[in-house]
Amino acid sequence: MSFRSLFQTPPPDVALEIDHGHVGAARLVWRDNQAVVAAHAQEALPAGAVVPALAALNIADVPLVAKAVGRVLAELGSRPSRVALVVPDTVSKVSLLKLDKVPAKAADLQEIVRWQVRKSAPFPIEQAVLSISPGTPEADGSCEMVVSLARTDVIQQYEQACVMAGAEAGLVDIASFSVINAILAAPNGPTGAAPPRAASRGDWLLVHITGTYLTLAVMRDDSLLFFRHRGEVAEAALADLIHQTSMYYEDRLNGSGFARVLIAGGARLPGGAESVRRGLEQRLRMGVESVDPRTAAVLADRIGASPELLDVLTPLVGMLMREARVV
């Protein structure tokens, strides 16, 4: 046992998602080195209870949402004191920032990135919470960083709903990043042909659709190359975004074709995911698969696996598996 392990805070075993239409939660346990979803719960929210947005407060009645959070957490069995929190993509602006040299100190990196994104931020940088993750490293020592920017008071609303329900949100991430982590956590990675960090996986595309926004992310192995979301879910909006992304991928990223295209979230739409999948296959001229969280964490025997439930579980599993890999 190392000295670090004596004092390191263990990651939460419960993830919670607050979205525009529901609160969902899942508890993860480990059995013989296998991640297992041991319990889950979800509750619908009234219309307008959560309105995801970048530049405005999202929750008009925090105590109302907190009560829903409390009921969902109570259904998991023992109530957790800490949770990993998943929030909608549209509360955050995600950008890729290339740095010629990455500072060794985290504080210096924060200062440089804050200065770089100050002019393009949609609100004063002093009012922002900033998340920085390493992106694609280059041979010359430069690195493209993944930068997520959100208003502090917006994130605090989601965190306050957890606190009022008796749980601290020690970790916060957006939904599509959590979906990506669920894909990367699968033993065979996103292509089903190699370990998660093998260099041979190639390029792949994630299409994440919810009731209020759609997101496209282009990945090369486990590095993010492109990320864009729109607050529309109409078929025309998806077609437009797919076209823009494909052109950018080919012209600016020197893309040679996707090894795999995955769709998440579509099962909860009124028409289901099948029509969306067919449309994507026609436009991209290749098969499109649904993201299945069971490739990363199996479900306990009593849990049935409907497409709608799998869509709810995917970001929750991804959030918890991300923390398991970090530790």
Using one digit for the tens of pLDDT, what is the confidence trace for 14-68? 999 999 999 999 999 999 989 999 999 999 999 999 999 999 999 999 999 999 9
Q: Tell me the mean pLDDT in the region 73-99.
A: 95
**pLDDT, tens only, 150-198:** 999 999 999 999 999 999 998 999 999 999 999 999 876 554 444 444 4
pLDDT of amino acid 90 = 96
Q: How far apart are CA 182 and CA 299, in angstroms?
A: 14
Q: Which tops the pLDDT comparison, 188 or 121?
A: 121
Q: How far apart are CA 317 and CA 295, in angstroms?
A: 10
Q: How far apart are CA 265 and CA 267, in angstroms?
A: 6
Nearest residue to 21 via CA among 287, 300, 265: 265
Q: Which tops the pLDDT comparison, 151 or 141?
A: 151
Q: How far apart are CA 215 and CA 218, in angstroms?
A: 10
Judge whether 23 and 65 are in contact, CB under 8 Å.
yes
Structure tokens at 235: 């078929």
Helix (H, G, I), strand (E, B) or coil at 285: coil
Across all residues in the chain, what is the average pLDDT? 88
Q: Is the pTM of this model over 0.85?
A: yes
Judge whether 273 and 267 are in contact, CB under 8 Å.
yes
Alpha helices by DSSP H, 81-151: 106-117
Q: Tell me the mean pLDDT in the region 254-277.
A: 83
Alpha helices by DSSP H, the chain: 3-7, 62-74, 106-117, 152-164, 175-184, 235-251, 274-284, 307-326
**Tokens 């049935």 map to which residue?**
304
Of all residues in the chain, the percent with pLDDT exceeding 90 is 66
**pLDDT, tens only, 266-287:** 776 766 677 788 888 888 889 9
Q: How far apart are CA 176 and CA 94, in angstroms?
A: 11
